């Protein structure tokens, strides 16, 4: 079948679904997006290519779909129809749990009832969200002084473990026993998120089904494994819903469908660049090293049991790793100690960044030694893993004991991998190219914190350009993809997002902007209040802004949302509330999000004024239609200055290249965030709302004019102080 015919049939499938929904109105923008999705995915050449064959055709669309377009239906119906015709699968990746749940619990079930061809869908979760039955059985039945109990607190320093009350250890053991009983009785399916009260990471980690401690099909309880049971559901599904973190972390691991032979949809795609930076950053602890001896001891014991020659060098690798990590920590304190100790009163760990990513020469040799010994140690562990799996296969009667040995070694292996990867990134020094410019450096920094009697020194490293990272790791594998969000343009252009996402100047990429069906000029008003004080004078500006805010929110009659840029700003506003208004305000930090929103909805339904005070997380993904948000107050433009180590390193590199970080990074990123914030105001075609902004820079600066270009075309009202 031709590409044109595939696209035509996929769009017809979308039209049929729309026609079958009672009372559903055809939206021009939604159909335009569906047509783009169909054409894009039809043009992608999927599957493995024969040796010597031409480079397969890639096809990628970047689609900004304004609020109200109905983008989930616009991409899912044609993409699923396309996958069914082509005998492949659709992978939908989102940034938030809320959208995942909406797709799996609402959108896809409804679509499955409407589409003529049946399809199955499944939610993909990381292996670590599921319990390992073997670990759970071991911990639920272990004695209180055993090595297994000691492992429960492996992340903590030895002194802290000894100080933990015995009653707390016993309570933890009872918790594991109750989980094991519920699992055995069929009252729980092994999914962490389905527990009535999901445990904290510290309690869950010892029983999580991590890949490093799993023997897979060699495990004695493989046929009864909760994770692999869920995997069977995924294998049978034509549509898989995942998230950006899982997508990037599982590249090359075969946890999700092969990207060169499936169709990829990235919703909430504006989060992808930041997710990439977080995913490929790494850290290593250079102070708490007891795990090295524990891992070496276990590996030696198992290696001797298997009679492996590879363990001959194990003692040298482990002692060398410990020695050089200790030396590295000492040298870091020698070079950066004064700077780190000078921050002891600051919030969080003290931190010092390596300028230009150019690590001082004394640190390079111990880093090289850390890499050498970690690499050798990892080779020994791989040999042990291979030997254990072979032994399990040959001796099925001993599978349980051997699998437990595998888990004991594998539990600590990720720390060794993290040390190796972090040392590798830290060791990469910037190089001068032939034309005199330097290669893009990695962000590198060290932290110092005190935990009990321990001084903990850590090394950190990260790439600074998400686009380059995504090009190398993700787009090199993808053939057909659609990236979508309500906010992909910045200051009226796709350029910033395309650069951040690694798609700039890619011939396979097409862009499309689909306007919202809302009549923003008639439905909303943007009121800009020009304060006397410059917003950069934080204290004076906040006083003036809070005074004006108190006046404006006193006129709220239904639902309202106030968005702050800092906790201190919000605290001062709360303190300024008159007693007559305090029972009208719900503060984000005072109660769980779900409880707060339910209370807000109840008050508005009763005809009472209800005002939410929130911060960044309330500026995105919050759906408050109609009377729930008739007024939106933006206290200050949500600038995101590059004050984290990665942002600082990137800004430094841009300046050294003669470029302007404010114009290239800060303004475009702020434009996307501001568009998200303003998007909380109008959620349906019937909504009416007023948006207030107290930051005069929005209308008084050249970059403010750029920010306005990225906002909905509200009626604009300027108000002087």
Q: What is the pLDDT of residue 174?
A: 85
* 131 class by beta-carbon count within 10 Å (0-12 exposed, 13-18 middle, 19+ buried): buried
pLDDT number for residue 150: 42
Name the one residue in this structure whose structure tokens are 């001959």.
312
Cβ burial, residue 639 (10 Å; 0-12/13-18/19+): middle
User: What's the CA angle centered on 467, arms 615 and 499, to 5 degrees?
Assistant: 80
434-485 confidence digits (pLDDT tens): 555 668 999 999 999 887 777 899 999 999 999 999 999 999 999 999 999 9
The mean pLDDT value for 17-33 works out to 89
pLDDT band for position 346 (cuts 50, 70, 90):
low
Contact 93, 478 (CB under 8 A): no
Q: Which two tokens stand for residue 188?
A: 């729980």
Sign of the torsion angle spanned by Cα atoms 623, 627, 629, 630: positive
pLDDT band at 627 (very low <50, low <70, confident <90, very high): very high
Whole-number pLDDT of residue 137: 85
Residues 19-31, mean pLDDT to the nearest whole number: 87
Q: What does the pLDDT read at residue 144?
A: 40
The pLDDT of 594-611, averaged and rounded, is 96
CA 148 to CA 86: how far, in whole Å?
50
Q: How would you class 595 by CB atoms within 10 Å of its CB: exposed for 0-12, middle for 13-18, buried for 19 or more?
A: exposed
Bridge pairing between strands 631-634 and 524-530: unpaired
Beta strand pairing call for 350-353 and 443-451? antiparallel
Which residues is 460 bridged to in the sheet? Answer: 283, 445
Which of the two residues, 538 and 92, has the higher pLDDT score? Answer: 92
DSSP string, 274-293: HHHHHHT-EEEESS--HHHH
- One DSSP character per residue, 596-613 reads HHHHHHHHHHTT--EEEE
pLDDT of residue 632 exceeding 50, the answer is: yes
Mean local confidence (pLDDT), 339-362: 83
State yes or no: pLDDT of 382 exceeds 90: yes
Q: Which three-class secondary structure state does DSSP give residue 638?
A: coil
**Cα dihedral 495/499/505/506 (nearest 10):** -120
Summarize pLDDT for 530-553 with one digit per residue, the tens: 899 999 999 999 999 999 999 999
Average pLDDT over residues 335-354: 81
pTM, full prediction: 0.90
pLDDT value for 62:
98
Q: Please, what is the average pLDDT of the chain?
A: 90
DSSP letter assigned to residue 194: G
Per DSSP (E only), the strands in 275-396 are: 282-285, 350-353
Local structure of 342: helix, strand or coil: coil
pLDDT digits (tens, 9 = 90+) for 161-215: 455 577 777 788 888 888 999 998 889 999 998 888 888 888 898 889 988 888 8
Chain-centre distance for alpha carbon 669: 17
Closest alpha carbon to 33 in 429, 578, 510? 510
Return the H-helix or E-strand segment holding 366.
helix 361-394
92 touches 246 (CB < 8 A): no
Model pLDDT for residues 397-425, shown as the tens digit of each residue: 888 888 888 988 988 899 999 999 999 99
Phi and psi for 447 in degrees, rounded to 5?
A: -125, 155
pLDDT of the residue at 154 = 43
């Amino acid at each position: 079948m031709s590409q044109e015919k595939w696209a035509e049939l996929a769009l017809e499938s979308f039209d049929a679904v729309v026609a079958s929904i009672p009372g559903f109105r055809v939206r021009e923008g939604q159909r335009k997006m569906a047509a783009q999705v169909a054409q894009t995915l039809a043009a992608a050449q999927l599957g493995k290519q024969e040796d010597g064959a031409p480079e397969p055709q890639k096809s990628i669309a970047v689609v900004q779909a304004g609020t109200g377009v109905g983008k989930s239906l616009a991409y899912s119906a044609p993409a699923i129809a396309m996958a069914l015709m082509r005998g492949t699968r659709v992978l939908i990746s989102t940034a938030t749990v809320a959208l995942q749940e909406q797709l799996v619990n609402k959108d896809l079930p409804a679509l499955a009832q409407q589409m003529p061809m049946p399809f199955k869908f499944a939610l993909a979760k990381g292996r670590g969200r599921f319990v390992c039955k073997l670990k759970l059985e071991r911990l639920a039945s272990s004695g209180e002084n055993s090595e297994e109990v000691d492992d429960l607190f492996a992340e903590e320093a030895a002194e802290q473990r000894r100080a933990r009350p015995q009653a707390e250890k016993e309570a933890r053991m009872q918790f594991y026993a109750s989980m094991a009983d519920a699992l055995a009785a069929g009252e729980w399916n092994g999914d962490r998120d389905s527990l009535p009260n999901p445990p904290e990471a510290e309690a869950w980690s010892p029983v999580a089904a991590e890949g490093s401690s799993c023997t897979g099909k060699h495990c004695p309880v493989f046929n009864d494994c909760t994770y692999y049971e869920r995997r069977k559901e995924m294998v049978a599904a034509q549509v898989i819903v995942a998230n950006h973190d899982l997508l990037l972390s599982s590249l090359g691991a075969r946890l999700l469908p092969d990207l060169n032979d499936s169709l990829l949809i990235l919703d909430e795609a504006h989060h992808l660049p930041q997710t990439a930076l977080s995913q490929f950053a790494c850290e290593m602890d250079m102070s708490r090293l007891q795990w090295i001896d524990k891992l070496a001891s276990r590996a030696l014991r198992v290696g001797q049991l298997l009679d492996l020659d590879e363990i001959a060098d194990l003692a040298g690798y482990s002692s060398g790793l410990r020695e050089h990590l200790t030396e590295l920590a000492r040298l870091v304190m020698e070079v950066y100690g004064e700077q780190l100790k000078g921050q002891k009163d600051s919030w969080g760990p003290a931190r010092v960044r390596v300028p230009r990513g150019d690590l001082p020469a004394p640190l390079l040799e111990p880093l090289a030694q850390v890499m050498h010994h970690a690499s050798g140690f990892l080779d020994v562990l791989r040999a042990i893993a291979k030997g254990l799996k072979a032994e399990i296969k040959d001796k099925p009667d001993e599978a349980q004991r051997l699998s437990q040995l595998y888990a004991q070694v594998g539990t600590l292996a990720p720390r060794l991998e993290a040390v190796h990867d972090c040392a590798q990134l830290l060791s990469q020094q910037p190089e001068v190219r032939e034309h005199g410019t330097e290669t893009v450096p990695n962000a590198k920094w060290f932290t110092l914190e005190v935990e009990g009697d321990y001084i903990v020194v850590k090394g950190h490293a990260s790439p600074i350009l998400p686009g380059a990272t995504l090009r190398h790791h993700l787009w090199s594998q993808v053939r057909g993809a659609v990236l979508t969000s309500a906010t992909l343009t910045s200051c009226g252009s796709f350029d910033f997002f395309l650069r951040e996402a690694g798609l700039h100047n890619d011939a396979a990429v097409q862009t499309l902007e689909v306007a919202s069906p809302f009549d923003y000029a008639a439905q909303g008003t943007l009121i800009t209040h020009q304060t006397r004080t410059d917003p950069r004078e934080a204290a004076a500006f906040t006083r003036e802004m809070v005074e004006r805010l108190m006046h404006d929110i006193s006129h709220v009659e239904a639902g309202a949302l106030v968005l702050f840029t800092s906790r201190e700003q919000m605290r001062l506003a709360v303190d300024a509330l008159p007693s007559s208004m305090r029972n009208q305000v719900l503060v984000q930090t005072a109660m769980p999000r779900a409880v707060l929103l339910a209370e807000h909805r109840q008050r508005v339904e009763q005809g009472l004024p209800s005002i939410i005070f929130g911060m960044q997380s309330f500026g995105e993904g919050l759906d408050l239609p109609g009377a729930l948000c008739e007024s939106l107050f933006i206290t200050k433009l949500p600038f995101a200055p590059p004050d984290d180590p990665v942002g600082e390193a990137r800004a430094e590199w841009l300046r050294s290249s003669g470029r302007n970080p404010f114009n290239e990074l800060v303004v475009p990123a702020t434009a996307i965030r501001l568009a998200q914030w303003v998007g909380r105001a109008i959620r349906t075609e019937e909504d009416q709302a007023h948006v207030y902004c107290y930051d005069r820079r929005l209308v008084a600066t050249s970059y403010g004019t750029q920010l306005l270009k990225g906002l909905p075309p509200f009626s604009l009202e300027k108000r002087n102080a």
